[in-house]
Amino acid sequence: MRYLISLVIAGIVTFFLFLGMQALIQGGEGAMTDPVKGQVLDFVRLKQEETVQKKERKPQKPPTPKEPPPPMESPQTQSNNLDAAGGNFDFSADVSADVELAGGLALESSDGEYLPIVKVQPVYPRRALSRGIEGYVIVEFVVTKNGTVRDPKVVQAEPEAIFDRAALDAALKFKYKPRVVNGEPVEVAGVQNKISFQISG
């Protein structure tokens, strides 16, 4: 009996559900067919035109070049200063003009006489500098075809054996423009040079 009542109730409920679904379906078809009310506006956002400003760069004028400094003359002599033990001293070593003894003064007629280019002042001996000794040395040597000095020797020294080594070492560093005879360089022998050692100040 209970099962029969349940079936009847289930059938009634199912019937009403079908009716409800039919009503919903008819209502939905009407909504789909109705015309759209109102207007639809499409908004399209346009970017503003950007103006590109071009800057013209004018080339800068190059700076006016400064006047070049005058060329410096190359020193003819080089000096070396030594500090004596216990104090400082300034000294000067004079290099006198060259004299050729083999043929008197160098005044022979030729394509070109030898000329001194570089004369290096000697190193003042430390012993003589510390004792305040002054003097001079006359050195004799040969000017070669290349303008270098060969075979230097001491002809006269005052005082003796004090400044000899310094004078000979300096003479070996002398540079000359060689003598030219008939377009060919030749050696010049017997060239003498007086080197003075004096303490100044």
What CATH number does residue 98 fall under? 3.30.2420.10
Which range marks the domain in which residue 107 is found? 90-200
pLDDT of residue 5: 87
CA-to-CA dists, residue 198 to 92, 128, 154, 164, angstroms: 5, 10, 18, 15
**Which is nearest to 199 in space by CA: 136, 120, 118, 156?**
136
| 3-class state of residue 90 by DSSP | strand
More confident residue, 135 or 56: 135
Mean pLDDT, to the nearest integer, of 186-200?
A: 93
pLDDT of residue 144: 96
The answer to whether residue 42 scores a pLDDT higher than 60 is: no
Asked if 95 and 136 touch (Cβ cutoff 8 Å), the reply is no
Distance CA(72)–CA(105), nearest Å, equals: 32
Distance CA(175)–CA(120), nearest Å, equals: 9
Mean pLDDT, to the nearest integer, of 2-6?
A: 82
| 3-class state of residue 99 by DSSP | strand
For residue range 94-126, what is the model confidence (pLDDT) as tens digits?
Answer: 565 565 544 333 334 447 788 999 999 899 999
Residue 84 lies in a domain: no
More confident residue, 176 or 59: 176
Residue 43 lies in a domain: no
- Mean pLDDT, the chain, rounded, equals 74
**Under 8 Å CB-to-CB from 126, ≥6 apart: which residues?**
82, 84, 85
pLDDT of residue 25: 81
Q: Tokens 């360089």 — which residue? A: 185
Backbone angles phi and psi of 11, in degrees to 5: -65, -40
Number of domains in the chain: 1
More confident residue, 93 or 176: 176
Residue 44 lies in a domain: no
Residue 110 lies in a domain: yes
Distance CA(195)–CA(170), nearest Å, equals: 9
Residue 77 lies in a domain: no
Mean pLDDT, to the nearest integer, of 43-71?
A: 58
More confident residue, 171 or 21: 171
Residue 121 CA, chain-centre distance (Å), reads 32
For residue range 158-168, what is the model confidence (pLDDT) as tens digits?
Answer: 999 999 999 99
More confident residue, 27 or 47: 27
Residue 144 lies in a domain: yes
Q: How many residues does the chain have?
A: 201
More confident residue, 122 or 63: 122
pTM: 0.49
**Where is 2: in which H helix or E strand?**
helix 2-33
